[in-house]
A = this chain, B = another copy of it.
Amino acid sequence: MHDTESRADEALDRAFMALADPVRRGIIARLSRGEATVNELAEPFSISVQAVSKHIQVLEAAGLVTRTRDAQRRPVHLAPEALERLTSWIDGYRLAHEQRFRRLDAIVQGPAAARTRTASSENETTNTNNAKKEKKS
C-alpha cells in the first residue's frame, strides 16, 4: 500500500485531490471574489452545511485556503500561493515536454541544429519537485 510517500508528494496529493471536486472548486471560485463564511459558501449548493464544512476542512488541509476568526464566524480566505505551486508543478512537466519536442524538431530538421540544445538548457531544471524519486520498494 502507501508505505513511504514524501512530504512534497503528500502535499500535492491533498492539493490536487482537493480540486477534484466541483463543490470545492466552486468554493475556490467564490473565494477568489473575497472571503466568505461557511454558511455563505454553503448557500449555492444543495448539500448540508456540515458537508460544506468538511469540504472546507479538505481545502484547508491542502493549504488552499486559510481561516480567521470573527466572533462566532470563521471566514475562509483563498491562499493563492498554494495555487501557484500547483501551476508550477504542472508547467514544469508541460514545458519540459514541449521543449523536448523543440529539440526533436531541431534534430529532425538538421544535425547541426541539434547542438543548440546544449546552449538552451535553462528550462530543463525548472521542476519544483522530484521527478526521479518516485520509487518505494
Q: Give residues in A with beta carbon < 8 Å to B.
A: 1-2, 5, 9, 12-17, 19-23, 25-26, 28-34, 44-46, 66, 68, 77-81, 83-84, 86-87, 89-91, 93-94, 96-98, 100, 120-121, 123-124, 126-128, 131-132, 134-137
Contact = CB atoms under 8 A, between A and B. Distances in A.
Copies in the complex: 2
A100 B32 contact: yes
A93 B83 CA distance: 9
Given A25-B134, A34-B100, 10 more contacts: A5-B22, A14-B20, A26-B131, A44-B135, A45-B134, A45-B135, A66-B123, A77-B121, A78-B97, A83-B91
Nearest to A12: B25
